[in-house]
Chain A
């Protein structure tokens, strides 16, 4: 699905990623954990194609294509999706109109016809249920006046609508209470299949009780310093990140 090799990146001249290597296959869920400032959000921004981030070294191959050569919109059209840590409010643009535009531009890129209005609305109804999103919210402006939980659920709703091959969840659990967390996790579990993959970025182990990862990676100082299975996440939770910091600061 995606192969990241020796990825170095910086923002405003400040180096944040220092050689990331990561291989993800279809059907897998990878969790990326790490202390604040370790580069987790930078990694998601770089993958999504944020123009402020500069890749200084390395390569990313996404389904056979050189991802770094693609603009953000073309990455999305190729099947990459980023669920934002802080979803953006867009006053005046209705959720429905926004999604219709997105789906049709993605379809056009992939040589498909526009989606019929009837099919689109049926899909909206079905996917809304998945994340228990109030029908009224889909008619409102994108994220405008949404609560923190509603915004996150709206991200997963968009994920469900756009059906990406690879979805990156950037701290989707932050700011969620346990009920909302379960709804979001449940949505992801329902969407998971053998043809897609997920990268779940999180600070806490809590989310991984509900979304069970196949692999867990620890990011520190812009590098993956440890990889393992979900047991490692539990271990991290018990010991905290200080242990990791000590170990790797010492090596440095």
Chain B
């Protein structure tokens, strides 16, 4: 059994270990734990409760038989830039200083993993536990030369940071992309992460971001995913918040053959706040699977989650939101809501809220709704001369706007709106 489980993993390890970074910023202990974990757990299939609707083992077996790691060398990224932002570029998992803007913004430090000092090195892998998920383990064992980003104490960044993760291959390839983002005490930043795929080959990305938000710090972030039908990815966003900190995130997924997002927030210090907003739009036979985990460990924290899905054609959408309220997390406010529109009879959505509460003085709620486009509203619009197609678009746009309107800065909101409109 164990042997069978690790077969896919073994195949992948052989293929990617050659191109994995040998930078050595992962300690030997962590590395051997990671390797052990991969061997023990293997790549999850649909028998694995957490990966029930997204059988990654079978997808890898079927779609990634001929991994060649034949990457495209990206030389220009101007077309992806967003005005009035600092651009950082990661190509096929490796931080590219050459393509990134010069870091001259006060309070901001960025280094590739190969160039970090020992204090930063110690932080890596402290938030994402290799025992928790096999993709964390795999990323830890085989990640490329990603980056460490720090906002210094007390600094409020004057400009948003736009991180472009661009990957591309002419044949099948695997990327293990990783970063660590640290906001020191009382700092503030807006960070945009955008995943782009080029080339004609299928690329499987195992993305991992650890984000540490210190006391009184505030992070506003957006993850924008639009990789198209060649993009397969598991994205782990592992957040740790200290007291009085704030985390606002918008995860916008407009396409991807397989997109699995593991968004895990640990509220470790009291009075902290986390807001997760999600919008996903799946079509054809795509699978977009959002798993969130809100772990309330400290008292007086608040979390809000709102995920909206539009599921078209034969595609599958998943929202699985787990809220833990640990026994010390008194006076917790935790809210979660998932709303979905199915655009065809063949589209599926699996929405599952999970609450586990061990404290006795908390306010928690969750709700999920799934429906078709509101026929009454559609008819009302028709009677005003608005045609079927544009009426449908008007309604979908209004459904998405609740999420899109929260996105900052304005230039990013416009970019996402434009891509969303194209999808309609």
Indicate if B2 sits at the interface (CB-CB under 8 A): no
- A117 contacts B by Cβ under 8 Å: no
A71 touching B388 by the CB < 8 A rule? yes
Cβ contact within 8 Å between A98 and B387: no
B70 at the interface (CB under 8 A from A): no
Task: For the complex, give the distance between the alpha carbons of A73 and B378 in Å.
Answer: 10
The smallest C-beta distance from B348 to any residue of chain A, in angstroms, reads 25
In the complex, per-residue mask of A82-93: 1 if CB is within 8 Å of any chain B CB, else 0: 101001101111
Contact B383 A71, beta carbon cutoff 8 Å: no
Query: Is A124 an interface position by the 8 A CB rule?
Result: no
Partner of A101, one of B386, B388, B399, B401: B386
Q: Which of B382, B384, B399, B401 contacts A98 (CB 8 A)?
A: B384
Q: Is B84 an interface residue (CB 8 A)?
A: no
Report A44-83 residues with CB < 8 Å from chain B CB: 48-51, 71-73, 75-77, 81-82
Question: Are B385 and A92 closer than 8 Å at their CB atoms?
Answer: no
Of the stretches B106-114, B236-244, B356-364, B390-398, the one at the interface is B390-398
Question: Which chain B residues (385-420) contact chain A, with CB distance < 8 Å?
Answer: 385-388, 390-391, 394-395, 397-399, 401-402
| A48 to B399 CA separation, bound complex (whole angstroms) | 26
A150 interface contact, C-beta 8 A:
no
Shortest C-beta distance, B420 to chain A (Å), equals: 13
Q: How many Å from the CB of B277 to the closest CB on chain A? A: 15
Residue of B nearest to A47 (CB): B383
Asked, given contacts A92-B401, A98-B394, whether A51 binds B379 with beta carbons under 8 Å apart, the answer is yes
B380 within 8 A of A: yes
Which residues of the other chain, A, contact B59 by a CB distance below 8 angstroms? none
Give the nearest-CB partner of A84 in chain B.
Answer: B380
B424 within 8 A of A: no
Give the residue among B380, B397, B402 with the most A Cβ atoms within 10 A.
Answer: B380
A197 is an interface residue with CB less than 8 A from chain B: no
B149 touches A (CB below 8 Å):
no
Q: Which residues in B have their C-beta under 8 angstroms from that of A90?
A: 374, 377, 380-381, 395, 398
Contacts of B398 in A (CB 8 A): 90-93, 141
Least Cβ–Cβ distance between B283 and chain A, in angstroms: 21
Instruction: Give chain A's interface secondary structure class.
Output: helix
Instruction: Say yes or no: is B62 at the interface (Cβ < 8 Å to chain A).
Output: no
| B401→A48 contact, CB < 8 A | no
B385 touching A162, Cβ below 8 Å: yes
Determine whether the beta carbon of B386 is less than 8 Å from that of A102.
yes
CA distance A93 to B401 in the complex (A): 9
| Option from A88, A92, A103, A105 in Cβ contact (under 8 Å) with B376 | A88
Residues from chain B with Cβ under 8 Å of A92 in the complex? 397-399, 401-402
Whether A81 contacts B399 in the complex (CB less than 8 A), given A71-B388, A98-B394, A101-B394, comes out as: no
A73 to B386, CA, bound (A): 6
> Which residues from A are CB-within-8-Å of B381?
90, 98, 102
Confirm or deny: A233 has a beta carbon within 8 angstroms of a beta carbon on chain B.
no
Q: Which residue of A lies closest to B376 (CB)?
A: A88
Whether the pair B382, A49 counts as a contact (CB closer than 8 A) is: yes
* Residue A109 CB within 8 A of the other chain: yes
Nearest neighbor of A80 in chain B, beta-carbon distance: B383
Q: Which residue of B lies closest to A161 (CB)?
A: B384
Chain A residues contacting B391 (CB-CB under 8 Å) are: 73
Q: Is the CB of A73 within 8 A of B387?
A: yes
Q: For A82, A87, A92, A109, which residue has the most chain B Cβ atoms within 10 angstroms?
A: A92
CA of A77 to CA of B388 in the docked complex: distance in angstroms? 13
* Contact of A76 (CB < 8 Å), options: B374, B383, B394, B401: B383
Instruction: Name the B residues within 8 Å of A172 (CB-CB).
Output: none
Contact assessment for A72 and B390 in the assembled complex, using a CB-CB cutoff below 8 Å: no
The closest CB in chain B to the CB of A83 belongs to B383
Residues of B with C-beta under 8 A to A97: 394
Specify the chain A residue showing the minimal Cβ separation from B394.
A93
Let me know if A102 and B377 touch, CB within 8 A.
no
- In the complex, A18 has a CB within 8 A of chain B: no
Q: How far is the CA of A93 from the CA of B393 in the complex (A)?
A: 11
8 nearest A-B pairs in the assembled complex, by CB-CB distance: A92-B398, A76-B385, A72-B382, A106-B385, A102-B384, A88-B380, A93-B398, A73-B382
Not counting A72-B379, A84-B380, a sample of 9 additional A-B residue pairs whose C-beta atoms are within 8 angstroms of each other reads A72-B383, A84-B383, A88-B374, A88-B377, A90-B381, A91-B398, A98-B381, A106-B385, A162-B384
Listed by A's residue number, 21 A-B pairs whose Cβ atoms lie within 8 Å are A49-B382, A71-B382, A73-B385, A73-B386, A76-B382, A82-B383, A88-B374, A88-B377, A90-B377, A90-B395, A92-B397, A92-B398, A92-B401, A92-B402, A93-B397, A97-B394, A98-B384, A101-B386, A102-B381, A102-B384, A105-B385
